[in-house]
């Protein structure tokens, strides 16, 4: 006779607009556009992450500051407050790829709020280089969470002066991709 006790499956709460939080960080508007597409599909509360001290508008100054923060593992203080985090069972977390990593403000959010026991769903926009280590970082920072498959799409290429591109045919294409992704992960 085996001494192995089978694990009891943990039931994931159903995804309903009441228990969904869609949190996002955006610089050029692309991640915000994807966050709104997700929100249009699933509802819930939509929240933009804002810093107490915003990043410089100048692209190169911004890149230099983020690089320095990543090197020092600095987590910038957030202006955004979510008092009712316990009310949400499903948390979508969106950010651009900065320096092939999860941006420091998104790390600040994940450090500030205990998401244990929640379903976390990452999404990402990037300048063509992909997610880098972003989704791996979400998995590591969300120990005790049910982290679902993330969604990533190429947005603008700010270094080349191409900022917001989620419009026209691109918006229609991305909206369709978001819909298919949500259908797959939330079934």
Could you tell me the CATH number of the domain that includes residue 87? Answer: 3.40.50.360
Would 166 be classed as within a structural domain? Answer: yes
For residue 100, how far is the Cα from the chain centroid? 14
Residues 6+ apart with CB under 8 A from 21: 44, 45, 47, 82, 85, 88, 90, 91, 92
Contact by Cβ (8 Å): 79, 49: no
First to last CA, the chain: 37
Q: Which range marks the domain in which residue 101 is found?
A: 17-185
CA nearest to 36, candidates 28, 46, 26: 46
- Structure pTM? 0.87
Q: Summarize pLDDT for 23-51 with one digit per residue, the tens.
A: 999 988 899 999 999 999 999 999 999 99
Query: What pLDDT was estimated at residue 156?
Result: 65
Segments of the chain scoring below 50 in pLDDT: 1-10
Phi-psi category of residue 85: left, alpha or beta, with phi > 0 → left and psi -120 to 50 → alpha: alpha
Residues 6+ apart with CB under 8 A from 22: 35, 38, 39, 42, 44, 45, 46, 47, 92, 94
Would 99 be classed as within a structural domain? Answer: yes
Query: What pLDDT was estimated at residue 5?
Result: 39
Determine the Cα angle at 148 with ends 115 and 73, to 5°. 55
Would 172 be classed as within a structural domain? Answer: yes
Report d(CA 56, CA 63) in Å as an integer: 9
Would 7 be classed as within a structural domain? Answer: no
Query: What pLDDT was estimated at residue 72?
Result: 95
Q: How many domains does the chain have?
A: 1
């Amino acid at each position: 006779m085996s001494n192995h006790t089978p694990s009891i499956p943990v039931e994931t709460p159903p995804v309903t607009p009441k228990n969904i939080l869609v949190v996002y960080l955006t610089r050029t508007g692309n991640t915000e556009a994807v966050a709104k597409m997700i929100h249009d599909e699933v509802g819930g509360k939509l929240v933009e992450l804002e810093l107490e001290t915003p990043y410089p508008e100048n692209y190169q100054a911004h890149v230099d500051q983020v690089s320095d923060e990543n090197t020092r593992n600095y987590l910038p203080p957030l202006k955004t407050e979510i008092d009712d985090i316990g009310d949400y069972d499903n948390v979508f977390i969106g950010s651009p790829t900065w320096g092939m990593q999860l941006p420091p403000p998104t790390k600040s959010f994940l450090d500030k709020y205990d998401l244990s026991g929640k379903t976390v769903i990452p999404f990402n926009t990037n300048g063509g280089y992909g997610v880098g280590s972003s989704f791996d970082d979400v998995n590591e920072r969300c120990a005790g969470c049910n982290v679902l498959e993330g969604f990533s799409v190429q947005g603008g290429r700010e270094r080349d002066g191409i900022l917001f591109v989620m419009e026209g045919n691109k918006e229609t294409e991305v909206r369709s991709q978001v819909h298919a992704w949500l259908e797959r992960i939330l079934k």
